[in-house]
């Protein structure tokens, strides 16, 4: 009998889940954002801090989100309602759904550029990044194409869509990265890049470095807006939530480390500055590719890789909002997906026009950033941190680790021993660290 479209899916296998969740985590955040933030924050020392943040804050918050999701079998809004009926906690879920829509809107714009860069690099076009993004028809078309790609995958539902695609796409991504890294580290003068990236210089660490590392950890692991609550809701009771989180974080971190290995050696061999800023990938890499033999092929495969990674992330963002509409508002999956994509597209238009098309959007008054930059700062940073702090407080103080542990024990009978550690991390350590980050941000500590 065909499954009703309202019925909830489940992951077909444990590996399928891990690949899909890792696909959500791995994206522009790892390959575009990580290297430029690391470059601006001193390289090696940033890498170490980032690893610490992933381990002690990222992994516990991910365990919390997955447990909430698997226990409630709901989207973020429904999940809080199931655990604490009638309480205001479901606002955290609404916040997540809203944040998801907003992140998706500008993230897809960036993803569209990566799509465009596949062709641009392949045909050896040397137009600078600014001129490329200044073409309104091109920017909006790429944005639209990427939105439709995301819709087509998510429309298929959990097993047929997300999981099948992730299974095909993730190994391709890994393979391409390895090939490109080999190319990068064999370039002349690349060793200085390696030592910049792998030899930490702690004398340069400031509060700002730590904050950058923490923020990057949330964005990169897709935490703080319920993406992992939603993915957890498709987990089976047999799955081990703690080791699954570990694997996802490991994969994600591995790809980020590899992205650094790809970019820094090449960057230094070109005598370019590691603090090139957000345009790093788009501005610097094509120049590098143009100067090495077969560069346009290497370059095109790099941007293909980046598009693949971005697609598995936009899938997860769209899935959160879709799951909400399907579970709570009883939408047909197909209809929900198109409606959300259309809303995101409209919301993303100002971001798409902010990169050199409409000057007013290119530099917003007061904040002094482009519209896209502002969206990323507000939703990709602050809203995720607010979400993560609320999720850890909910888990540790409201639902209580003791009760949540019963859910984790299913699929992981040995968890008993680690429950006190998780309790400490989620009750005190994570909220304290994140609140410090937020206060710092609001005081203007950059
Ligand atoms: N983690 C993804 C990346 O690194 C982006 C992403 C996907 C995301 N889903 C998310 C970020 C949910 C925050 C929340 O590119």
Give pLDDT tens digits for 41-95.
889 999 999 999 999 999 999 999 999 999 999 999 999 999 999 999 999 999 9
Question: Worst-scoring range by mean pLDDT, 1-15, 100-114, 179-193, 429-443?
Answer: 1-15
**What is the C-alpha to C-alpha distance for residues 81 and 256, in angstroms, rounded to an integer?**
35
The CA-based dihedral angle spanning residues 361, 366, 367, 372, taken in that order and rounded to the nearest 10 degrees: -10
CA of 26 to the centre of ligand 1 (A): 7
Atom of ligand 1 nearest to the CA of 227: 12
Question: Residue 226: which region, alpha, beta or left (left: phi > 0; alpha: psi -120 to 50)?
Answer: left
Question: Which three-class secondary structure state does DSSP give residue 311?
Answer: helix
* Ligand 1 atom with least separation from CA of 32: 15
Q: Dig out the tokens for 431 from the structure.
A: 């909220």
Q: Three-state DSSP class for 5?
A: coil
CB of 266 within 8 A of CB of 193?
yes
Q: If you measure from the C-alpha of residue 27 to the centroid of ligand 1, how many angstroms do you get, rounded to a whole number?
A: 7
Residue nearest to atom 13 of ligand 1 (CA): 222
Could you tell me the pLDDT band of residue 7, with boundaries at 50, 70 and 90? low
Q: Find, among 256, 99, 102, 267, the residue nearest to 177 by Cα.
A: 256
pLDDT at 442 > cutoff 80 = no
What is the DSSP secondary-structure string of 135-186?
Answer: -HHHHHHHHHHHHHHHHHHHHTHIIIIIIHHHHHHHHHHHHHHHHHHHHHHT
The pLDDT of residue 444 is 62
pLDDT at 291 over 80: no
Predicted confidence (pLDDT) per residue in 266-288, tens digit: 888 888 888 776 667 787 677 66
CA 27 to ligand 1: nearest atom: 15
Residue bearing the CA closest to ligand 1, atom 8: 222
Distance 245 CA to ligand 1 centre (A): 15
Q: Report which of 158, 197, 170, 167 is spatially closest to residue 25, judged by C-alpha positions.
A: 170
Q: Which two tokens stand for residue 352?
A: 């798409």
Residues at CB less than 6 angstroms from ligand 1? 24-25, 27-30, 103, 219-220, 222, 225, 227, 313, 316-317, 384
Calculate mean pLDDT across residues 181-191. 86
The pLDDT, as a whole number, for residue 4 is 42
The C-alpha angle with vertex 61 and arms to 57 and 62, in degrees rounded to 5, equals: 115
Task: With CA atoms as reference, report the closest residue to 220 among 107, 337, 304.
Answer: 107
pLDDT confidence of residue 205: 84
Is the model's pLDDT at 366 over the cut of 80?
yes
pLDDT at 446 over 60: no
Reported as type and span, the H/E element at residue 191 is: helix 191-198
Of 59-63, 127-131, 321-325, 401-405, which range is least confident? 127-131
Candidate from 151-165, 200-214, 397-411, 413-427 with smallest mean pLDDT: 151-165
Instruction: State the pLDDT at residue 373.
Output: 83
In angstroms, the CA 155 to CA 151 distance is 6
Picking from 152, 166, 151, 77, the residue whose alpha carbon sits closest to that of residue 344 is: 151
pTM of the complete model = 0.91
Top pLDDT among 62 and 2 is at: 62
- Computed on alpha carbons and rounded to an integer, the radius of gyration of the chain in Å comes to 21
pLDDT for position 284 = 67
8 Å CB contact between 264 and 43: yes
Average pLDDT over residues 392-419: 95
How far is ligand 1, taken at its centre, from the CA of residue 345, in Å?
Answer: 18
Return the higher-pLDDT residue of 342 and 301.
342
At 261 the three-state DSSP class reads helix
- Which H/E stretch holds residue 121? helix 90-122
Pocket test for ligand 1, best of 317, 383, 388 (most atoms within 8 A of CB): 317
* Number of CB atoms found within 10 A of residue 96's CB: 30
Q: Give residue 418 CA to ligand 1 midpoint distance, Å.
A: 28
Looking at ligand 1, which atom is closest to the CA of residue 218? Answer: 13
């Amino acid at each position: 009998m065909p499954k009703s479209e309202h019925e909830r899916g489940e992951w077909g296998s444990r590996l399928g889940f891990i690949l899909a969740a890792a696909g959500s985590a791995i994206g522009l955040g790892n390959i575009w954002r990580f290297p430029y933030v690391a470059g601006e924050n001193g390289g090696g020392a940033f890498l170490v801090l980032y690893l610490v943040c992933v381990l002690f804050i990222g992994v516990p918050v991910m365990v919390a989100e997955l447990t909430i999701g698997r226990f409630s079998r709901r989207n973020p809004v429904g999940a809080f309602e199931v655990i604490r009926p009638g309480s205001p906690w479901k606002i955290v879920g609404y916040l997540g759904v809203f944040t998801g829509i907003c992140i998706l809107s500008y993230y897809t714009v960036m993803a569209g550029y990566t799509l465009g860069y596949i062709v641009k690099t392949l045909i050896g076009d040397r137009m600078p990044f600014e001129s490329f993004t200044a073409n309104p028809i091109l920017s909006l078309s790429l944005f639209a194409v990427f939105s439709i790609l995301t819709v087509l995958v998510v429309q298929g539902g959990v097993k047929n869509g997300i999981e099948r695609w992730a299974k095909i796409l993730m190994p391709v991504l890994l393979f391409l990265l390895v090939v490109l890294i080999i190319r990068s580290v064999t370039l002349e003068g690349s060793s200085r890049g390696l030592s910049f990236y792998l030899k930490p210089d702690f004398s340069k660490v400031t509060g700002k470095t730590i904050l950058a590392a923490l923020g990057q950890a949330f964005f990169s692991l897709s935490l703080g807006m319920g993406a992992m609550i939603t993915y957890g809701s498709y987990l089976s009771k047999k799955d081990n939530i703690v080791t699954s989180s570990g694997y996802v974080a490991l994969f994600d971190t591995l790809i980020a480390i590899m992205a650094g290995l790809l970019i820094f050696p090449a960057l230094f061999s070109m005598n370019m500055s590691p603090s090139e800023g957000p345009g790093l990938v788009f501005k610097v890499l094509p120049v590098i590719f143009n100067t090495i033999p077969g560069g346009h092929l290497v370059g095109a495969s790099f941007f293909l890789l980046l598009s693949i990674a971005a697609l598995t992330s936009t899938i997860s963002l769209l899935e959160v909002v879709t799951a909400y509409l399907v579970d709570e508002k009883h939408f047909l999956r197909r209809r929900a997906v198109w409606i959300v994509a259309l809303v995101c597209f409209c919301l993303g238009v100002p971001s798409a026009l902010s990169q050199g098309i409409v000057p007013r959007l290119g530099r917003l008054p007061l904040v002094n950033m482009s519209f896209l930059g502002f969206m990323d700062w507000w939703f990709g940073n602050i809203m995720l941190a607010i979400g993560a702090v609320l999720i850890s407080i909910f888990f540790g103080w409201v639902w209580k680790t003791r009760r949540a542990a019963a859910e984790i024990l299913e699929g992981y009978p040995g968890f008993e021993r680690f429950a006190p550690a998780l309790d400490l991390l989620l009750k005190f350590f994570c909220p304290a660290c994140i609140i410090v980050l937020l206060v710092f941000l609001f005081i203007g500590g950059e």
